[in-house]
Amino acid sequence: MKRNKITIIGAGSVGATCAHWAASKELGDIVLFDVVEGIPQGKALDLMQAAPVEGYDCNIMGTNNYEDTAGSDIAVITAGIPRKPGMSREELIGTNSKIVSEAAKNIAVHSPNAFIIVVTNPLDVMVYAAYKASGFSSKRVFGMAGVLDSARFRTFIALELGVSFEDVSAFVMGGHGDEMVPLVRYSYAGGIPIDKLISKERIDAIVERTRKGGAEIINHLKNGSAYYAPSASVIQMAEAVLKNKKRILPVAAYLNGEYGEKDLYFGVPAIIGGDGIEKVIEIDINEDERAALKKSIQSVRDVLVMLDY
Ligand code: TXD
């Protein structure tokens, strides 16, 4: 029986750590691709040599040649340049859109049946670029941001309450930028709405920290951005597809009328399974949430118009 094949484009911090999580979950054989010679080969070999210790069976190879990615089931695009302190995600668009489009075209040629998960920033617009460049159905091209932003939100809620991370469910909608919308009304700890457990001021502070979650880490690292939680989030999405789990996850999905928007990738809850994005879920939102989402949509559209494709 054939194993799943997972290609990761960009063997930097997020890409290599995606390979690490995917291997530890034994999701399939892994190909790490990068334009820099030696880096993907070295990291892949190193990771494969952890297999006897960790007990996973998957082949992990590094390459600079797209032909080695042929026949992949999942392709994750992390290639690009990351933010530096003080930089917005939007400032990356010129360089990253070329890199992402080139990656998506190569995936389409070598792995015509793959699902593409885009990670590169500015996320919502880069997914759009990958969708256009690949020519794939929008069900098969989506972006990771909401799982990460929600994981940050859930982490801060659990820390605030001093309870298990596992018991906190919460999610963040919207674009992957400072206007993202953490949905307090849809956030629970052990099934109890968080506004019954945490004061309004503290919730406001947690929402703000969530929105700035990426920058907080960049400010610590100085050279590079977050990668452990981002890559874990990517692999959760890949697993949902490969195992046809039908998970409900917040994902940058193509909107074709949902939430009143068309021809836009935007963070919304969706069912992710063996067919990719199987359904975008439209939740009930109140006036304040609608206004916040509008702002977030506008900020994605403002960057989308800069996309040259
Ligand atoms: O929530 C999210 N979506 C994100 C997004 C969370 C974390 C990081 N986010 C973004 O992912 C970040 O802003 C960047 O745009 C990407 C990748 O972040 P990472 O931290 O992994 O960046 P690195 O370590 O610089 O790795 C990028 C790699 C590096 O090895 C380059 O040599 C390679 O990309 N690269 C390429 N690979 C293939 N093809 C081309 N053309 C190419 N150009 C650069």
pLDDT digits (tens, 9 = 90+) for 138-177: 999 999 999 999 999 999 999 999 999 999 999 999 999 9
pLDDT digits (tens, 9 = 90+) for 22-59: 999 999 999 999 999 999 999 999 999 999 999 999 99
Q: Is residue 109 part of a domain?
A: yes
The overall average pLDDT reported for the chain is 96
Q: Is residue 157 part of a domain?
A: no
Distance, CA 45 to ligand 1 centroid (Å)? 20
Q: Is residue 267 part of a domain?
A: no
Q: Is residue 54 part of a domain?
A: yes
Q: What pLDDT is attached to residue 304?
A: 95
pLDDT digits (tens, 9 = 90+) for 119-139: 999 999 999 999 999 999 999
For residues 201-211, average pLDDT: 98
Q: What pLDDT is attached to residue 88?
A: 80
Residue-range definition of the domain harbouring residue 96: 5-143
Is the beta carbon of 12 within 6 A of some atom in ligand 1?
A: yes
- Ligand 1, residue 79: give the atom nearest the CA: 34
Q: Indicate the pLDDT class of residue 187, thresholds 50, 70 and 90.
A: very high
> Is pLDDT above 70 for 206?
yes
Is the beta carbon of 35 within 6 A of some atom in ligand 1?
A: yes
DSSP string spanning the chain? -PPPEEEEE--SHHHHHHHHHHHHTT-SEEEEE-SSSSHHHHHHHHHHTTHHHHT----EEEES-GGGGTT-SEEEE--S----TT--GGGGHHHHHHHHHHHHHHHHHH-TT-EEEE-PSSHHHHHHHHHHHH---GGGEEE-SHHHHHHHHHHHHHHHHT--GGGEE--EES-SSTT-EE-GGG-EETTEEGGGTS-HHHHHHHHHHHHTHHHHHHHHHSSS---HHHHHHHHHHHHHHHTT--EEEEEEEEEESGGG-EEEEEEEEEEEETTEEEEE------HHHHHHHHHHHHHHHHHHTT---
- Ligand 1, residue 99: give the atom nearest the CA: 41
Q: Whose CA is nearest to atom 4 of ligand 1?
A: 119
Ligand 1 pocket: which of 31, 77, 81, 95 to mutate (most atoms within 8 A of CB): 81
Is the beta carbon of 82 within 6 A of some atom in ligand 1?
A: yes
Q: What pLDDT is attached to residue 86?
A: 82
Domain harbouring 68, CATH code: 3.40.50.720
Q: What pLDDT is attached to residue 92?
A: 85
For residues 182-211, average pLDDT: 98
Q: Is residue 226 part of a domain?
A: no
Is the beta carbon of 99 within 6 A of some atom in ligand 1?
A: yes
Q: Is residue 100 part of a domain?
A: yes
For residues 112-125, average pLDDT: 97
Distance, CA 12 to ligand 1 centroid (Å)? 6
Q: Whose CA is nearest to atom 17 of ligand 1?
A: 78
Regarding pTM above 0.95, the answer is yes
Identify whether 176 is a catalytic site residue: yes
Q: Indicate the pLDDT class of residue 309, thresholds 50, 70 and 90.
A: low
Q: Is residue 103 part of a domain?
A: yes
Ligand 1 pocket: which of 34, 68, 228 to mutate (most atoms within 8 A of CB): 34
Is the beta carbon of 42 within 6 A of some atom in ligand 1?
A: no
Q: Is residue 71 part of a domain?
A: yes
pLDDT digits (tens, 9 = 90+) for 53-91: 999 999 999 999 999 999 999 999 999 987 778 878 878
Q: What pLDDT is attached to residue 41?
A: 98
Q: What pLDDT is attached to residue 84?
A: 77
Is the beta carbon of 121 within 6 A of some atom in ligand 1?
A: yes
- Number of domains observed in the structure of the chain: 1
